[in-house]
A and B are shown apart, each in its own frame.
Chain A
């Protein structure tokens, strides 16, 4: 997609999600768990920072700061203007991936679909410190479900006693 068209798309997303209703009260930044999660705070990554920056430079989207949001909905719950920041973030990331901005995203190791921001995964790995890391960490919920379903399906044919033993 040409740059100009992409800019228009971003502006449309901003408008459709009513992000211009923001009056910069800062409640979203105050309740954002990112600080607890990553251990550092940055205005550019906070919900209102993302909104303000994109409204000035909608073309500047190859940026790491758009990949910090955990889409937890805490800001959506507290926003006095009723802005659904989480759904905007989801839409925006979809748009970015569609246009090939993939370097900050992590994809499912099984199906190859978008799973979570790289930043988030790195952090989870850091907490686990390699102790209990298993392959499920790199598998999206869909695939995980499918995997479990297959195991359960196989277990359904096992004789009852063998389940007890197990």
Chain B
């Protein structure tokens, strides 16, 4: 069957039409090889434009469609679906970006923009002739989820999924559930014991029929892809294999031990906030003069981030001390106070009202903790505005330290092929638009494993990750785009570049029998995991990898017409 192309050129209101001479481009497109029909539309994406595409596919017997308009980012799916409605395979469609690649960037040069638009349309037409029909891939999803880490985020995620009827395997490194929150005495802003919050969650998840809890378990290996992961874990020196459809990473973080700074380890009464909460639960006798030093090990050259809630943690402990003994002198040495949002702003005000003193210090002239033997008794701090040193007598010094990434993060990142950021925390797929997902499908992220988050945020991220993980499990199958990579095994030299470069871990080794019957190891792309980014195909030294929809022939055909 001969190729019959329909070219639809959009004015996009005045976005394209105001700069590019669209009628001229339409007329020009008519002269291109294999073009059977051309049309200019005011808005091709409107129902008028879409029905015109559908009608003309039938009337002119079109078997390829080119739309030259705004951007494939938002509109490619729409036009593909429209082709499908008219009975045309949706992969026989090509998008030409006339707005963002042409009219918007050449607003001052109308004639040149029209010339460029013609070039772009010609390239699109050259490529679309070579496209072949493709089918979407679909794979089944196992209705079970692996939750790594039994802290507050992991518990929230597990319970949400389990209550929706999905099976959950909850693995925890320690011998108890609850994570970091278990070590905390009281939680802000209500100052209630953390057990009030945690105990109901722990008991209901331990009892839940859909949740299997694996304590003291270690993740060894993860194989497979969305819908079909095979997880190996070690528990009591026995290994166990689980089959799950999705994974939620909620491994949390740990408190920084500021070894060597501000007399930590040297003086007995210098401790971190978390150590204070474990040592003094409700009896604060002998703590009448307390100095807290904020931003210890945070917002410095080697650790640039803010701990986000350490200021509030310090205020909480200061308020507890002040409530127990209103005469106590509590000073917080701070660099800035991070108390945004309604409740925390109010909490800060409460602390100020109670007479807790906040003194600002400069990172270049940090406070100095001095003492004799192993007891610190004085803190000297430079008051920036007064321009002089101030001495404060102390009974105890509390160091407010930020959370630091879990020590297993690097290992987990290797096992699951999920990215870790510069700071050592896991990196989500998009910081604004995809906050609880990883770039690889089927793996989600919640809580302090992503960055320091307070309890309510941990819970909401746990819920969010659970909601996201439930989508493929509820659908029962995942459908993936057909434009994926394919390895020609006869050309593969097994150099391994593609295996290393793939950001989604979609390429793995497989045995392949060549024509002479000899078996050798070659790279193989799993189409379910492949996102069609093309990194492997452009890095392949022997041109063995082909990205469907962007083959060498198609790209060169475009280049040749320029």
Contact = CB atoms under 8 A, between A and B. Distances in A.
Interface in B355-380: 355-358, 360
B353 A21 contact: yes
Contacts of A101: none
Nearest to A14: B355
B78 interface: no
A18 interface: yes
Contacts of A21: 349, 352-353
Contacts of A23: 337, 348, 352, 358
Interface string A73-108: 000000001000000000000000000000000000
A24 B93 CA distance: 63
A82 B353 CA distance: 12
Interface in A14-32: 15, 18, 20-24
Contacts of B386: 43-44, 49, 52-53
A23 B355 CA distance: 12
Interface in A26-70: 43-44, 48-49, 52-53, 55-56
Contacts of B353: 18, 20-21
A81 B358 CA distance: 15
B385 interface: yes
Nearest to B387: A43
B385 A20 contact: no
B340 interface: no
A55 B352 contact: no
Interface string B382-413: 01011100100000000000000000000000
Given A20-B353, A23-B337, A52 B358 contact: no
Nearest to A18: B353
Contact of A15 (B355, B356, B385): B355
A49 B385 contact: yes
Interface size class of A (residues with CB under 8 A): 10 to 19
A52 B349 CA distance: 17
Nearest to B356: A20
B264 to A, nearest CB: 26
Contacts of B337: 23
Contacts of A18: 353
B235 to A, nearest CB: 51
Contacts of B355: 15, 20
B385 A43 contact: yes
B357 A24 contact: no
A20 B352 contact: yes
Contacts of A81: 349, 352
Contacts of B352: 20-23, 81
Nearest to A11: B355
A53 B358 CA distance: 13
A49 B357 CA distance: 15
Contacts of B358: 23-24
A74 B509 CA distance: 75
Contacts of B360: 24
A20 B360 CA distance: 14
A43 B386 CA distance: 7
Contacts of A49: 385-386
A55 B385 contact: no
Nearest to A24: B360
A22 B353 CA distance: 9
Contacts of B357: 20, 55
Nearest to B337: A23
Nearest to A43: B385
A9 B358 CA distance: 22
Contacts of A20: 352-353, 355-357
Contact of A56 (B348, B387, B390): B390
A59 to B, nearest CB: 15
B137 to A, nearest CB: 58
Contacts of A56: 390
Which of A22, A48, A49, A52 is the most central at the interface, judged by chain B CB atoms within 10 Å of its CB? Answer: A52
Interface string B337-355: 1000000000011001101
A15 B349 CA distance: 14
A20 B390 CA distance: 18
A85 to B, nearest CB: 15
Contacts of B356: 20
A24 B358 CA distance: 9
B362 to A, nearest CB: 13
A55 B331 CA distance: 12
A49 B384 CA distance: 11
A48 B352 CA distance: 15
B40 to A, nearest CB: 58
A56 B355 CA distance: 12
A57 to B, nearest CB: 10
29 contacts: A15-B355, A18-B353, A20-B353, A20-B355, A20-B356, A20-B357, A21-B349, A21-B352, A21-B353, A22-B352, A23-B337, A23-B348, A23-B352, A23-B358, A24-B358, A24-B360, A24-B385, A43-B385, A43-B386, A43-B387, A44-B386, A48-B385, A49-B386, A52-B385, A52-B386, A53-B386, A55-B357, A56-B390, A81-B349
Given A20-B357, A52-B386, 14 more contacts: A15-B355, A18-B353, A20-B356, A23-B337, A23-B352, A23-B358, A24-B358, A24-B360, A48-B385, A49-B385, A49-B386, A52-B383, A53-B386, A56-B390
Interface of A: 15, 18, 20-24, 43-44, 48-49, 52-53, 55-56, 81
